[in-house]
Amino acid sequence: MNILDTIIAAKQIEVAERKKQRPLEQLLQAELFQRETFSLKEFLKDQSRTGIIAEFKRRSPSKGTINDRADVVSVTNSYVANGASALSILTDHSFFGGSTADLEAARIHHIPILRKDFIVDAYQIAEAKAMGADVILLIAACLTPGEVKHLASYAKSLHLEVLLELHDEAELEHICEETEMVGINNRNLKTFEVDIERSLNMAKRIPDSRLKIAESGIRSVEDVLMFKQQGFDGFLIGENFMKMPDPAIAFAEFVQALNPRS
């Protein structure tokens, strides 16, 4: 199996176990489940912000350990203070070193939070809201178009927004009425190779009615400016900051370079 297949197989087992540990009925009663959510769409449209969805990620299958010392609260404090439009928090533990606790800890901030995980079951969407997430990620590479529509509809019923992630032109058929934001992953999830040209080529095929977000492999201010010129509304960046000794400082310096007059 390729890396993605391995992750999905493990995720299905994990979800079955999590359902036993915390039934859906308990999720629906969680305190954070009752809160009003923030809109990623609206925050990305806010020109006073950077458009950056700043990610907290400890490790990945392709890079191994990225940063196992950073504190989620201190790092996200800097992300928010320096103009991040949203946060992305990895909650997968087995492959990315994340946890539910990381997202819950980041919920102190009053900006949208994306639950970054491999969603294969509606249970995970209710779970995301119970954690305090505002947005979920649906990855086309591991879902059929019908599954995307079903899961996105359920998310919207819970007042959660949906970011649909594509990485291949064949996945354009996954775009549906319920997916108003489309992310293009520069990283092939089956091989984990990065190709920024993928986003630029695919962007022309995505309807103008959708917000476009570039994901993965963004390493410089020049990359962000290039994607902006190509009509992208958001930029999901994590490893570029998390690999530094102090991600908080790295993000602040990146934003200063992006907006030198601010």
SS3 of 53, please?
A: strand
Catalytic, 147? Answer no
Q: Which of 104, 127, 165, 171 is catalytic?
A: 165
Average pLDDT over residues 13-37: 97
Q: Which of 178, 216, 239, 240 is catalytic?
A: 216
Catalytic, 243? Answer no
pLDDT tens string 121-150: 999 999 999 999 999 999 999 999 999 999
Per-residue model confidence (pLDDT) at position 262: 52
Catalytic, 215? Answer yes
Catalytic, 177? Answer no
CB contact at 8 A, 143 and 174: yes
Find the angle CA(200)-CA(206)-CA(210) to the nearest 5 degrees. 115
Contacts for 209 with CB less than 8 Å, ≥ 6 apart = 180
pTM value is 0.95
Name the least confident of 37-41, 250-254, 258-262. 258-262
pLDDT tens string 146-169: 999 999 999 999 999 999 999 888
pLDDT of 170 higher than 70: yes
Instruction: With cut-offs at 50, 70 and 90, classify the pLDDT of residue 108.
Output: very high
Catalytic, 216? Answer yes
Catalytic, 116? Answer yes
Please tell me the distance from the alpha carbon of residue 255 to that of residue 253, in angstroms, as a whole number.
5
Per-residue model confidence (pLDDT) at position 216: 84
Per-residue model confidence (pLDDT) at position 197: 76
Q: Which of 14, 104, 178, 215 is catalytic?
A: 215
Please tell me the distance from the alpha carbon of residue 188 to that of residue 209, in angstroms, as a whole number.
25
pLDDT tens string 185-231: 887 666 667 777 777 888 889 999 999 999 988 889 999 999 999 99
Catalytic, 94? Answer no
Q: Which two tokens stand for residue 95?
A: 């492959």
Beta bridge partners of 162: 136
Per-residue model confidence (pLDDT) at position 169: 87
Q: What residue ranges define each of the domains in the chain, with the CATH number in brackets?
A: 3-257 (3.20.20.70)
Q: Which of 11, 116, 129, 149 is catalytic?
A: 116
